[in-house]
Amino acid sequence: MAASLKTGFSVYNSCEANFKSKAKGSTSLCSSGFGTLQLPELSTKEFLGRSLDLSNQTGLNHWNVKDSKPILVNAQASICFSKAMRWWEKTLKPNMVEIHSTKELVNSLLNAGHRLVIIDFYSPGCGGCKALHPKICQLAESNPDAIFLKVNYEELKTMCHTLHIHVLPFFRFYRGARGKVCSFSCTNATIKKFKDALARYGTDQCSLGPAKGLDESELLALASIGLLSRNSSLDSKQRFEEFVLAGVDMSSSLDKSDNRVGLKEGKQLLMA
């Protein structure tokens, strides 16, 4: 974990001055001249609550003080720690997008046009996901026209249950008006499955009509548990393109007995 050290000093002698510095710094005093105070490399513990005797420092001849009189520096330090990146945040490429909501997933698919979209379902605690992540990043870099959407299973568990995601890592491939073209689970040992799908669906392809995204049955299922809402005035052909996040329970307008709602919360998740 990286850390940076910032300090504040007060110098007391025949006159008084305050200045701010890092481990090394410069100051001007209210005496007959100006001088540079070179501070030694000090550890964090040496700063906190201690006085430093700098009477032997070079450059004292510029100060209007006697060498025999010690110069005391009262120092205070604060340490700022930078947060270490988690494994799923490392080596991400510009075409890799983290999804944080159902609306974001739906809109990303609908706005992709004819570009290939790959949804990568993962979990922070999945060893197979962690091992596969560097290779997925490499494939994303070598296929800049494809869009990689990363879905954290733990963050969007209800949505994943509804989409029948029960094994990780898991991938879905989407292409334009065709919608979902394939889906599968793979690991480092079976990465060829991913590469074959990328080669098959990653070439330039044009299809008539707008991008389809999720199946209409999946959108209805997501709406039935309150993750999406729809404009009931739209005809059935347009409905799947107009779902938006609303946070409104749509179960009253949909058949609660619909068996397309998805997996139950208690279904066990399998991780590679």
Catalytic residue list: 126, 129
Structure tokens at 151: 């879905």
Structure tokens at 156: 């969007």
Handedness of CA 217, 221, 227, 228 (dihedral sign): positive
CB count within 10 Å of CB 113 equals 13
Question: Measured between alpha carbons, how far is 35 from 90 in angstroms, rounded to an integer?
Answer: 46
Question: Measured between alpha carbons, how far is 104 from 157 in angstroms, rounded to an integer?
Answer: 15
Specify burial of residue 30 (Cβ count, 10 A radius: 0-12, 13-18, 19+): exposed
Question: Measured between alpha carbons, how far is 168 from 269 in angstroms, rounded to an integer?
Answer: 8
**Residue 215 contacts residue 152 (beta carbons within 8 Å):** no
